[in-house]
Chain A
Amino acid sequence: MALLSLKNISVAYGKNVVLKNLNLDVEKGELVSLLGPSGCGKTTTLRLIGGFVEAKNGRFVFNGKDYTKIPVHKRNFGFVFQNYALFPHLTVFDNVAFGLKQRNIPKNEIKKRVMEILETVGLKDYADRSPRELSGGQKQRVALARALVIQPDLLLLDEPLSNLDAKLRVKMRLEIRKIQQEYNITAIYVTHDQEECFSISDRVAVMNNGVIEQLDTPQKIYNLPRTEFVANFVGFENFIELELEAKERGGGGFYKLKNGQRFKVTHFNGREYERYVKGAIRPEEIDILNEGGGKETNTLKGIIGISTFLGKHYQYVVETEVGRLLVNGSAHKRYEKGERVTLYFPEDKIVLV
């Protein structure tokens, strides 16, 4: 059984429904990220789990117990805030010791555990400093140490790295991951940075508009999105309407386009037996052939429109009979505006959504 489950959770601020019948299961020891655009309800989900927000409907079960109505201070969850939320009137040591003092642990034991965790996050020599005297990355480490030292049953992190510069972000996310695995802590991590999310997570929940659209491993999310929203979010910029014509033995099938053209698709993601679907494909997976091109299926004729230089390649807007498509082409050759080309869509690169 999952360690944590959200069952049909709804949350509303006044009339504004922010989470709609949300379901989420997290296993013990797992790091699950909540990924999604601004305002989709990531923070709200995290705050609900933390106990700062009340559910209008639904249940939150943790470790077999109903936690829906348990107050924050009894949950024993570590929370890491986006802006660190260190107590300005306390030293680094006292910040970290806060939760332990709350638990009536003997003084020397507190000292031992605080110094231990400060060592883990590399701040042993900073114990007597005030938070004012720390850099952003150091503050973040203190916040992490403070949440970890209470040996939380669950670690909740809300965009913990978003105030740091790019280099430090990469370093810190590796550290967070390392510590999480070392301590075998179950964690939920909110971010809207895809790379960060993919690199750190066991599983990713992509959220949109108050629901989780897909909960999968980073690889699956990236390669096999199951909905148009997820596909779009991870960089599939082209969506072509398809109608199922014939199933292939062994999976996949033939599809008809709006203009009568046929596409073969050999990808599996569970959507392949629906009649009307969309074929999603990334700009870099479409090949540009000179007019004619020699291939029968999986091609579309088009006219080159605007082009932009993106460093590694040129990106073209190509007008086709089924609409405007974004296509990347080699940086060595630039197609001129108005040039007629044939686009080739490899059968194993089209994802059905």
Chain B
Amino acid sequence: MKKNVYVYLLLLPGLIILLLFLAAPLFSTVFRTFQGNEGLTLAKYIAFFKDSYNRGVYIRTLKLALLTTLIAVILGFPTSYYISRLSRRARGLYIIFAVFPLLTSPVVRSFSWMVILGKNGILNSILLKLNLIEEPLRLLYNEFSIVIGLVYLFLPLMIMSLVGVMENIDEDLIEAAESLGATRREVFIRVIFPLSIPGLIVGSVLVFTGSITAYTTPQLLGGSNTTVLATLIYQNAMSLFDWDTASVVATIMILTTVFVTFLINKLSSRLNA
């Protein structure tokens, strides 16, 4: 018994730092949003959602984050499966390639997408040269370019989570399924997919959380009519000095993330059954 107390004592310094610098500000941020003139109230939230502009931003952010997560799942799954079946050495190499985008700053990455997607960008020039289009497409400063930027940014997280789980799926299981009459596709559906769900959950939560809170990418690749929650916080706090609204938006963001994480978990365990 006595020993246990000492073990907890060791946790104390870390705990104090966490409480002081993370939990306390977080709590005070959340708390003030519920504070009214007389006790606790949801007035600020109701006011926020009454504003159609705010509603639009919220729905757009949610839509972009979900779309990004969905695309990351679709792109990440086959890629991760391929990587997970490689030899140990090749796997390491491919992982490094996959993670490479994470090693550069989001600003640099967004700028390179501007070079690719811009009016006189690489993509438009190629399409023009091939006579596939008559005038440059508007690929930049809209939701399309934000999603592209976000997928590019967060796909590595999805791949890493999935590879981590998939590489532990024993080759024997795949062979056993095949010997029982399953084609490659059926093996994937009946064995690989269900066994990858834990990685899928972690990956989706990471990508979703990352996308819904992303600031730089939507700011640089988006336009004036593609404001997202993170930009809204910035505008309210830094330009309008409206800390109350900024806190409300932040809290909404947190609650949405928690809620969607919960949903993803639920949905996945449903799939598993």
Contacts and interface: CB of A to CB of B under 8 A. Distances in A.
Given A88-B195, A89-B194, A150-B181, A102 B186 contact: yes
Contact of B179 (A78, A83, A88): A78
A302 interface: no
Given A87-B191, A89-B194, A98-B190, A81 B178 contact: no
A225 interface: no
Given A85-B170, A88-B195, A73 B175 contact: no
A87 B180 CA distance: 12
Given A89-B272, A99-B180, A52 B195 contact: no
A160 interface: no
Given A85-B170, A88-B195, A72 B176 contact: no
A73 B194 CA distance: 20
A235 B134 CA distance: 84
Contacts of A89: 191, 194-195, 272
Interface residues of B, number: 18
Contacts of B99: none
A50 interface: yes
Contacts of B178: 51-52, 72-73
Interface string B182-220: 110010001100110000000000000000000000000
A163 B107 CA distance: 55
A103 interface: yes
B194 to A, nearest CB: 5
Interface string A141-167: 000001100100000000000000000
A263 interface: no
B176 A76 contact: no
A158 B128 CA distance: 60
Nearest to B186: A102
Interface in A41-86: 50-52, 72-79, 81, 83, 85-86
B194 A79 contact: no
Contact of B176 (A51, A74, A81, A103): A81
Nearest to B175: A52
Interface in A77-127: 77-79, 81, 83, 85-89, 98-99, 102-103
A83 B175 contact: no
A86 B172 CA distance: 9
Contacts of B181: 73-74, 76, 99, 102-103, 150
Interface of B: 170, 172-173, 175-183, 186, 190-191, 194-195, 272
